[in-house]
Chains A and B, each alone.
Chain A
Amino acid sequence: MTAPREPRARPVWPLVRVLLSTQYAYMLEYRAEIALWALSGVLPLIMLGVWTGSGAGEAAGFTPAMLTRYFLAAFVVRQFTVVWVIHVFEEDNLQGRLSPFLLQPLHPFWRYLAAHVAEQVTRVPFVAALLALLFLLQPSLLWWPHPADVFWGVLATVAAFILRFLLQGVIAMACFWSERALALERLLLIPYLFLSGLVAPLETFPPGVRAFALATPFPYTVAFPARVLMGAEVNLGAGFLGLALWSGLFLILFLLLWRVGIRRYSAMGA
């Protein structure tokens, strides 16, 4: 019997650097596609057009300037919280590409996370160009947020991305039980659109619906970071605590489901 050989402790930073730089190089190969994805995320800007001049915002205590800033902030938050891990995980699972990843001493989801981060970095110039074009066409929309709001807003956006990544990671675990787990993700699209604050600020919702929305993780993925970015009155502590609690819950669920699900993995297509 051969004695088990202990692997050397692996330095983390070189791994992170290599994963990110490689995934960035990979994403650059798909820059045209990423530009189209960035364009497809203009729903908050469309909603801005719909809400402007309707008077509905003012009834909820939103001045036209606040409404503009909210939807512009929601646009930025949406751009940097896009998660597609379930698509790639389902495909890798069905086509057997997951197998080589499982045979390496690195959880496959770290690769997916690196791919998401690299995709977001690739997206930056396209989002900046879209915003520049918007401000060029409509200079009145331009506003400079306070540096503290930018700091906390970026932090909240990163946390919102992690929450969305973990939520979709939990749903992706259904791939171990079903070949069409993506359908579950589609089921969540409607509550995400309405309860996150993407199509309307939560303040415009009836009190009952608003209370219901606040009891779900969705407002933390758009409304909270958008309100922080726009400089609105926000309870930062409660917001970040909500993000941490939901993320913690989904992380635990993800790890549990992974542990059970991986036993069912049949290495299809491999």
Chain B
Amino acid sequence: MIIEAEQLSKTYRVADKQPGMAGTLRHFVRRRHRDVPAVSGVSFAIAPGEMVGFLGPNGAGKTTTLKMLTGLIHPTAGTVRVAGHDPKRRQAAFLHQITLVMGQKQQLIWDLPPLDSFRVNAAVYGLTPPEARRRISELADMLELGEELTRPVRKLSLGQRMKAELLAALLHRPAVLFLDEPTLGLDVNAQARVRDFLADYNRCTGATVLLTSHYMGDITALCERVLLIHQGRLFYDGRLEGLSERLAPYRLVRLELTVPQPAAAFTGHGEVESLQGNQVCLRVPAAQLTGSVAQLLERFAVVDLEVSDPPIEQIIGGLFERGRVDDSPA
């Protein structure tokens, strides 16, 4: 395994201050702190070449976990190995093998063209100028970057900046990519281009990718496997396909009827998700699917019928909106 996390935990110590003047004075005289667990006992392993989605609502512990995996912050407890190294030691051999791309945070020099930042990165990683030029050219082709490379970074659009940011982060050809919201703020086209690039990069180099994103499109397009984290605990680690079975044990049954029916007519066949004229969508428990479909076909004049899994966005979105997890941690 190229990434191994065992009972990884991180607790932050934060100041605890009550509002108002009295609270301010009390805080000044006697400062109180409390420990806030950001990540609690998270364990997982990722094989070389895998692309894994890391999902969770804001504050779930995704970024904290990524920071521990890259060695930026030290875990409070647990162990982590990435590419055979202990990340917190930040040894040169480890740093040569990883990269972390954080959505809006950039390493590019703001007032200079991206090429200047690439030159610095190439020198830092010990690439010879011809080698650096070749890699920049290859990656620029994949990312569809051209004359943008000689324009000051501040003059680039968000999408162009993100692509240049990716190029800078990948110049040393890392074996492990940690991507924290790489498509944040990008328009739909730019998101698609970044996704295509990441898929190509993974295919060409065999790099391992751990990706967090708020856009389910990123995850469904790139990752077969997902890790779900909530309130610092990992509660799902498995295939994206299996997620709906575990978290949403129901199917959507869409019917087109010859004659429109009231919602009450479907009582006992499932929960009505939507009803518009002669189109109805029912949420049917997976265990009763066969029986329910047979009854529906028998009872109503059906023009068309379609059974599908609920969209993954709907499952995860609903889960995070509820703000709680009924299932036990994975």
Contacts and interface: CB of A to CB of B under 8 A. Distances in A.
B100 A10 contact: no
B124 A105 contact: yes
Given A22-B116, A103-B72, A4 B84 contact: yes
Q: Which 6 residue pairs of A and B lie closest in terms of their CB atoms, listed nearest first?
A: A10-B126, A100-B107, A18-B123, A105-B92, A7-B96, A15-B123
Contact of A99 (B48, B102, B116): B102
Given A22-B116, A267-B73, 16 more contacts: A2-B84, A5-B175, A7-B126, A11-B126, A19-B120, A22-B117, A96-B102, A100-B105, A100-B106, A103-B95, A105-B96, A105-B124, A263-B74, A265-B72, A265-B73, A270-B72
Nearest to A266: B73
A19 B123 contact: yes
A89 B305 CA distance: 63
B155 interface: no
A39 interface: no
Range of interface residues on B (Cβ < 8 Å): 35 or more
Interface in B282-312: none
Contacts of B93: 4-7
B133 interface: no
Interface of B: 1-2, 12, 48, 63, 67, 70-74, 81, 83-85, 88, 90-100, 102, 105-107, 109, 111-112, 116-117, 119-126, 129, 175
A25 B129 CA distance: 19
B72 A102 contact: yes
A59 interface: no
Interface string A105-138: 1100000000000000000000000000000000
Contacts of B129: 14
Kindly state the interface size class of chain A when it binds its partner.
35 or more
B111 to A, nearest CB: 4
A210 interface: no
A8 interface: yes
Nearest to B63: A270
Contacts of B117: 22
Q: Which of A2, A6, A17 is most buried by chain B, counting CB atoms within 10 A of its CB?
A: A2
A97 B105 contact: yes
Nearest to A264: B74
A7 B175 CA distance: 13
A25 B116 contact: yes
B24 to A, nearest CB: 17
Contacts of B109: 22, 26
A9 B111 CA distance: 31
A270 B124 contact: no
A103 B120 contact: no
Contacts of A233: none
- Residue from B12, B97, B117, B124 having most chain A Cβ neighbours under 10 A: B124
Contact of B1 (A1, A3, A11, A30): A1
A40 interface: no
Nearest to A9: B126
